[in-house]
Amino acid sequence: MSEVASLTVFLLLLAVTSGGTFKSANGQKTWCVAKPSSDAAALQANINYACSHVDCRILQKGCPCSSPDNLMNHASIAMNLYYQAMGRNRWNCDFRNSALIVMTDPSYGNCAYA
């Protein structure tokens, strides 16, 4: 079983045992990011969907999360904004199976994931 598949199984079991909200036993926060295998069309659709429901100004040029300026980065940030705003439920980080829930903070530089 691949590392990604193992992580997915673990997260699904965590969801079932915690009523669907992803919080570890010690209250560790979770984040939603784009799957590296997602294609450009899916990533753009995820950005469009998420940003139609939450404020994505953090992605605008000159803002801390605008760089690197690529679909994978912007989709991960938009998807996570949506996931956090909607209550961190597993179903808020599905995006047609193009997302992963992670337990390691994906923040970088001056870009802080919520």
Report the domain count for the chain: 1
For position 74, what pLDDT does the model report? 98
Q: Is 113 a member of any domain?
A: no
For position 23, what pLDDT does the model report? 46
* Euclidean distance between the first and the last CA atom of the chain, given in angstroms as a whole number: 31
Tens-level pLDDT at each residue, the chain (114 residues): 444 444 444 444 444 334 444 444 346 799 999 999 999 999 999 999 999 999 999 999 999 999 999 999 999 999 999 999 999 999 999 999 999 999 999 999 999 998
Q: Tokens representing 54?
A: 């939450």
Q: Is 98 a member of any domain?
A: yes
Domain enclosing residue 17, as ranges = 3-102
Q: Is 110 a member of any domain?
A: no
- The continuous run of DSSP H or E covering 3 comes out as helix 3-17
Q: How far apart are CA 48 and CA 14, in angstroms?
A: 29
Q: Is 90 a member of any domain?
A: yes
Q: Is 114 a member of any domain?
A: no
Q: Is 63 a member of any domain?
A: yes
Q: Is 107 a member of any domain?
A: no
Q: Is 25 a member of any domain?
A: yes
Q: Where are the alpha helices (DSSP H) in 18-105?
A: 40-51, 71-85
For position 28, what pLDDT does the model report? 79
For position 36, what pLDDT does the model report? 96
For position 2, what pLDDT does the model report? 47
